[in-house]
Structure 1
């Protein structure tokens, strides 16, 4: 047993820096390479290739199913009317084809690529020292490595596998292009005008009953649509008009709310109405935190502050929710003073020359 510099005994069970040479473990190296069945059996390799091709074909079939549901299945009639079996059946079929198409499209190409890599691509282990590619010789070496990878992938030797991969890769993203197209109208001017107008009553959704100002209690919330929405048929754009016109109605303590001078007559004794359409990508803002007076969009967590005219305090939304000016009629019911003073919906619709175009059409 040794001792420390201060004379205390040292057991020797703990190694200290500088007193014992560090033992170096030998490099175990790479384990022996175990060839796969497809490496030694040409029939197994051919079978794996057919499996990958089948997965890519499943992806192509899924993309085709999506387009059949998206463009080929027409939903006519009021989809919320359970007595209209033709409309509900068509809607069910369309949703089935859309969901199944996207699932098969992504599943086929994803599993196909993984199966290809695990069974057909080379799996030799190697270690390369990292170095900077600077000289022309090194660039040529890098090009040679990429060429080798391309050759070892088997794309040249397996044209059917290559062609099905190309077909699946081309078709797979297209369903998402169709879904992105539905985020908003191609004619942005339609967002400038809704069904709200002077004297239009605020009614509950979906019952359609009008709302008296005296019935709106402190802290209560109503999902509201314009009364004249009921006069529009489902084949005449009912859903489009409702999507633009939906409103959240809440009553707050007037002493806790900051109101700008130009909006002093836009509320009724602390009753405020704001668009439910989030200014980020148009999701429905439907979560109201009564204690904090915050409105929350469930899609991307954009948060709006009710006491400060729905300004954005968190999330990706870029502008406040549009406020609907309201008042009461002679019978005590809540009515709109006018339409929204700004377009509803995502902020991207307000960029560039679109604002000028919409203002020109509105005038």
Structure 2
């Protein structure tokens, strides 16, 4: 390693000539001076006070637009409600709420970026890296940096700008809070109790969905699967029917009896290999409706949870948190399949308050 006459380092590198013989070549590494920062172009808001004031007015206007849009999203939730009688009403509800929330987020985002781009101090700088520490001198310097940043951004000085930003940001989560809060009505029963009680009861026949035809045990062959509802469900009114069906839907299957691994406490819940399980997935409530005859697995098409029917529908894959609830069944005097009782646990998704207030 040596230096050339210009102060550059000379490095050696192995190379080969055309005849294939090894040789040594010298590569000169030129030294360069630090070019520094390019000439900085100043913004019009730095040199023209009127432009600065106009930019501030526009940014304040954007923050107020965000506030108004957040309020609009809340109002839209009530002005364009979702009607159970007209499912197309969900379009208007989602459209106007979405417009409000999107505009609120867009306006506050654009306003914040514009504040940084046009009003905060515009100065290029470079700073050497150093080890951080917690010494008094460092802490003092950090405080000075924050004070300088505050002065340069104008956060404390530009009160109208600052307060409009704070107001817009505070209003942003309000539509979500209102929408989520409205999902719970204090007059409703506790969700654990609601999901623990369905139309199934002792002696209620299992009938086909949606025809309502009763099912005899002899109709269920090995490998077959039936979508089942409780008898009498179709006699309910529209809204009541939908609510009751959402909890009571069942999938009925028949397996070879030697394939069932029944726990002692559940002996007698099946009938000659015929078993019935809730169709409501224990993940987020999607309908479990895909039955694989060879493996005896149930599949939820929403998030791919799989349940093993031979082992009380235990979860063998996917995000479901617990097995599907089993409906105890038997036959009546006419050979029709009937329920022995309701489910012995809440149906539907697993949620954290399932066991808080009820011993189920």
Structure 2 length as normaliser, TM-score? 0.73
User: Cα–Cα, structure 1 residues 21 and 102, in superposed 2: closer, same or farther, change >3 Å?
Assistant: same
For the pair 1:10 / 2:8, whether they are aligned, the reply is: no
Q: Distance in 1 between matches of 2:91 and 2:327?
A: 35
Q: Distance in 2 between matches of 1:30 and 1:221?
A: 74
Match of 1:288 in 2: 290
User: Cα–Cα, structure 1 residues 136 and 264, in superposed 2: closer, same or farther, change >3 Å?
Assistant: same
1:198 to 189, 197, 202: 202
Count of matched residue positions in the alignment of Structure 1 and Structure 2: 337
Larger radius of gyration: 2
Structure 1 length as normaliser, TM-score? 0.73
1:107 alignment partner, SS class:
helix
- C-alpha RMSD of the superposition: 3.9
- 1:269-308 aligned at under 5 Å gives the runs 269-280=272-283, 282-286=284-288, 288=290, 290=292, 293-296=297-300, 298=302, 302-308=305-311
Match of 1:108 in 2: 107
Match of 2:357 in 1: 354
2:168 alignment partner, SS class:
helix
2:139 alignment partner, SS class:
helix
For the pair 1:63 / 2:70, whether they are aligned, the reply is: yes
Q: Distance in 2 between matches of 1:216 and 1:113?
A: 65
2:323 alignment partner, SS class:
coil
Match of 1:262 in 2: 265
Farther off after superposition, 127-136 or 43-52: 43-52
Q: Distance in 2 between matches of 1:201 and 1:25?
A: 90
Q: Distance in 1 between matches of 2:37 and 2:28?
A: 27
Match of 2:95 in 1: 96
User: Cα–Cα, structure 1 residues 325 and 72, in superposed 2: closer, same or farther, change >3 Å?
Assistant: farther
Contact 1:201 1:227 in 2 (8 A): yes
User: Cα–Cα, structure 1 residues 100 and 191, in superposed 2: closer, same or farther, change >3 Å?
Assistant: same
- 1:228-267 aligned at under 5 Å gives the runs 228-234=232-238, 237-267=240-270
How big is each residue's C-alpha offset from its partner over 1:131-154, in whole Å with a ceiling of 9 and x where there is no partner?
323112211222222233333333
Structure 1: tracts of 5 or more residues without a match:
80-86
Q: CA deviation at 1:124?
A: 3.8
Could you say which structure has the higher helix fraction? 1
Q: Distance in 2 between matches of 1:170 and 1:278?
A: 37
User: Cα–Cα, structure 1 residues 113 and 348, in superposed 2: closer, same or farther, change >3 Å?
Assistant: same
1:350 alignment partner, SS class:
coil
Structure 2: tracts of 5 or more residues without a match:
1-11
Match of 2:4 in 1: none
- 1:1-363 aligned at under 5 Å gives the runs 9-12=21-24, 29-73=36-80, 78-79=84-85, 87-88=86-87, 90-122=89-121, 124-128=123-127, 129-181=129-181, 182=183, 187-188=190-191, 189-216=193-220, 219=223, 221-234=225-238, 237-280=240-283, 282-286=284-288, 288=290, 290=292, 293-296=297-300, 298=302, 302-345=305-348, 346-351=350-355, 353-356=356-359
Q: CA deviation at 1:197?
A: 1.3
Q: Distance in 2 between matches of 1:192 and 1:330?
A: 28
